Amino acid sequence: MTKKNLEQIAWVTGAGRGIGRALVSHLVKDGWTVAISARTEKELNTLKAECPSGSVEVYPLDVTKVDATLEVLEKIEANLGSLRLVIFNAGTHVSMPVSAFSSSIFRSLMETNFMGVVNGLEAVIPLFTKRQSGHIAIMGSLAGYRGLPTASAYGASKAALINMCEALKPELEAVGVRLTLINPGFVETPLTAKNEFPMPFLIPVDEATNFIIKRLRNSPFEIAFPRQFVWLMKLLYHLPDRLFFSITRRFLKK
């Protein structure tokens, strides 16, 4: 396989559906060649078929497997060329009321949402730091700002990502590597379609990915949206506990 333009090579995990799939389409329109990864190869192949020939290459991956992650990165670089942008987007959600509290749900979400990113970082960071270049984007969530009922496992995995990114940002910046944390609110995807509760400020996936792509060009540390939901979550973050819990109690089903 012929290597592509070294300036425009990206890798997106969790690319089979939802935000990841839409991000790939936007990147391709912007002239990127994109390596796409997800567990389900069929979804990746349908996405490739929707894109112009040669703009997308499929690399199936279970991000919870650290050795497999490194192998995929090596294949991408060998086949396409030097990566410029990596978007670690793979993630999932399981609602967990306290009546169904389960360590297995915590373990599963942490393995995918948090350790899946950590595995990718272990592969990419040495490469980018050696080159003193590259851009890493990590998909977090506004749910990581404060703990919300039924989201103790999901929120914990996203809060861990936020803390980790804050810690890594100065060190990566010092060696020329950019790091961006993406914290969306509710976006219309197959994942949110499973939610059985009202989702404030729900936005279409194309609107969300348009916003992400435009902001990525400026390389900010955090991309958070929609604005009204960001303000609400930041307000909750700064409220005294007594007021905070008086609000979140109202989220409980009667």
Say how far apart CA 47 and CA 50 lie, in whole Å. Answer: 5
Say how far apart CA 125 and CA 120 lie, in whole Å. Answer: 8
Active-site annotation, residues? 154
**CA-based nearest residue to 179, from 109, 120, 238, 93:** 120
Neighbours of 26 (CB within 10 A): 17
Look up residue 231 and give its two tokens. 């303000």
Amino acid sitting at position 80: L
